[in-house]
Amino acid sequence: MGPPCGREAGGRRRRRRGRGQLESALALAAAGLMCTALAAYVCWEQLPPLPWTSPAPQQPVSVLLWWEPFRGRGADERPPPDCRLRFNISGCRLLTDRSAYGEAQAVLFHHRDLAKGPPDWPPPWSARGDAAEDVLEQAALATLGSRPPGQRWVWMNFESPSHSPGLRSLTGNLFNWTLSYRADSDVFVPYGYLYPRNHPSDQPPGLAPPLARKRGLVAWVVSHWDEHQARVRYYHQLSQHVPVDVFGQGGHGRPVPDSGLLHTVARYKFYLAFENSQHLDYITEKLWRNALLAGAVPVVLGPDRANYERFVPRGAFIHVDDFPSASALATYLLFLHRNPAAYRRYFHWRRSYAVHITSFWDEPWCRACQAVQTAGEQPKSIGNLAHWFER
Ligand SMILES: *[C@@H]1O[C@H](CO)[C@@H](O)[C@H](O)[C@H]1NC(C)=O
Ligand SMILES: *[C@@H]1O[C@H](CO)[C@@H](O)[C@H](O)[C@H]1NC(C)=O
């Protein structure tokens, strides 16, 4: 699935080594780490285009959000976003009023809200209201999931399979589409992405935050501390060899200073973008926002390197799997600490790309509308949701 990076990357690596620029301590890095940023772009541009780069026909499409995620059901609602102003997607009618169910071309169900509380599905749909007098016909209409013709039910989830309870109860072709961070979703909405900097005004203004302002070495922000998680185990090993400043709540780490998370992290050279669980495409704001946007070099623990390289130039991050041990990683971080030129190479991507951070929940909602606009009529349903998502 990934881009055919190997050849270009290998060629550059050999040339580099021929120039004898690498210290012997960095032999471990020869495994692909020292690819130049240029090679990264060559690889990266071979990625399939993101789905929303295709022009959308401007037909009005109604998308009903069955529950507003993480908000009281019905209570405390914000007005829906204007998709044209926010994301340049015209022709969307976003609905929260359940009485408009019959008009919606798509209905969004947020998994977290599906899985908690009593079942709360749309009522069985009959195009003729209560006119179905035949008993058998009534029984057929009462089937869970009967819906207006052409309407799509969209399962929406941004948690990883490890934190998505109740998946297995959602069987039987209930949903037509998936919307998630998984690239093979019907509506792919990652937590963030890089986009080409076409205009000089696109952020970031500089190449990288000034090194002089980076007083700290390694930062980590963690909100849910769990000794069983791979990220906590790795932190314990790493912190024996290199100092790690931990911020967070819940008794572990110090509170994030009032200046805010981004300003705090920006003063460090490296950020531990460690995911809470390791799954295909599960790459969250820890990478996009806390590290890449803040301007600290991400040290990632999540899916494998090839998976990250589908979304980020290979020279923009350090993967824990690049090293045989946490102590070898620590050695490499300290090497970069002493060698500003080598360290700065991790920011080359900023010349060509800027970071987009996904806006929840406005953006998934508008992307669902856009997907309906471009989808055509082809019916589809998801036979075994858990099988697909947990694989
Ligand atoms: C907005 O979308 C239209 C049509 O899809 C496109 O032609 C235009 O360039 C877009 N504008 C921006 C600022 O991206
Ligand atoms: C949506 O799924 C239902 C149930 O599986 C199916 O009957 C219907 O044809 C699907 N509709 C579309 C537009 O895919």
51 occurs within a structural domain: no
Q: Is the Cβ atom of 171 under 6 angstroms away from ligand 2?
A: no
Q: How far apart are CA 167 and CA 298, in angstroms?
A: 31
Report residues whose beta carbon is within 6 angstroms of any ligand 1 atom: 55-56, 88
- Which pLDDT score is estimated for 346? 96
369 and 349, same structural domain? no
Please identify, by atom number, the ligand 1 atom nearest to the C-alpha of residue 55.
Answer: 5
Token pair for residue 73?
């059901």
> Residue 136 C-alpha to ligand 2 middle, in angstroms?
21
> Residue 141 C-alpha to ligand 2 middle, in angstroms?
14
Angle value at C-alpha 21, between 16 and 25, nearest 5 degrees: 110
363 and 352, same structural domain? no
50 occurs within a structural domain: no
Q: Are 209 and 185 in contact (CB under 8 A)?
A: no
56 occurs within a structural domain: no
> Residue 87 C-alpha to ligand 1 middle, in angstroms?
9
User: Domain total for the chain?
Assistant: 2
- Which pLDDT score is estimated for 69? 65
366 and 282, same structural domain? no
Token pair for residue 223?
């909100």
* Regions of the chain with pLDDT less than 50: 1-52, 73-75, 128, 130-132, 137-138, 140-142, 205-207
For the question of residue 159 being annotated catalytic, the response is: yes
272 and 230, same structural domain? yes
Residue minimizing CA distance to atom 2 of ligand 1? 88
275 and 306, same structural domain? yes
Please report which ligand is nearest the Cα atom of 380: 2
Q: How far apart are CA 319 and CA 380, in angstroms?
A: 37
Range of the domain at 318: 2-43+194-357
Q: Is the Cβ atom of 152 under 6 angstroms away from ligand 2?
A: yes
> Residue 57 C-alpha to ligand 1 middle, in angstroms?
12
243 and 105, same structural domain? no
Residue minimizing CA distance to atom 1 of ligand 2? 176
Residue minimizing CA distance to atom 14 of ligand 1? 88
Token pair for residue 275?
């995911």
Residue minimizing CA distance to atom 7 of ligand 1? 55
102 and 66, same structural domain? yes
pLDDT per position as a tens digit, 71-93: 554 445 678 899 999 999 999 99
> 54, 56, 62: which is closest to 92 by C-alpha?
62
Say which CATH number the domain at 202 has: 3.40.50
- Which pLDDT score is estimated for 42? 36
369 and 230, same structural domain? no
What is the spatial order of strands in the sheet that 318-319 belongs to? Answer: 244-248, 216-222, 268-274, 297-301, 318-319
Q: Is the Cβ atom of 176 under 6 angstroms away from ligand 2?
A: yes
133 and 78, same structural domain? yes
pLDDT per position as a tens digit, 295-321: 999 999 999 999 999 999 999 999 999
49 occurs within a structural domain: no
Query: What is the three-class DSSP state of 157?
Result: strand
- Which pLDDT score is estimated for 156? 96
- Which pLDDT score is estimated for 154? 97
294 occurs within a structural domain: yes
143 occurs within a structural domain: yes
Catalytic residue among 159, 275, 309, 363: 159
55 occurs within a structural domain: no
Q: Are 266 and 294 in contact (CB under 8 A)?
A: yes
Please identify, by atom number, the ligand 2 atom nearest to the C-alpha of residue 153.
Answer: 1
379 and 329, same structural domain? no
- Which pLDDT score is estimated for 169? 85
> Residue 352 C-alpha to ligand 1 middle, in angstroms?
20
Residue of 59, 85, 86, 88 best suited for mutating to test ligand 1, as the one with most atoms within 8 Å of CB = 88
Q: Are 291 and 262 in contact (CB under 8 A)?
A: no
The angle, 0 to 180 degrees and rounded to 10, between the axes of the packed helices 6-18 and 37-44 is: 170
335 occurs within a structural domain: yes
Residue minimizing CA distance to atom 12 of ligand 2? 379
Give a three-class secondary structure readout of 36-72: CHHHHHHHHCCCCCCHHHCCCCCCCEEEEECCCCCCC
> Residue 88 C-alpha to ligand 1 middle, in angstroms?
6
155 and 128, same structural domain? yes
> 76, 106, 102, 78: which is closest to 92 by C-alpha?
106
Please report which ligand is nearest the Cα atom of 125: 2
216 and 126, same structural domain? no
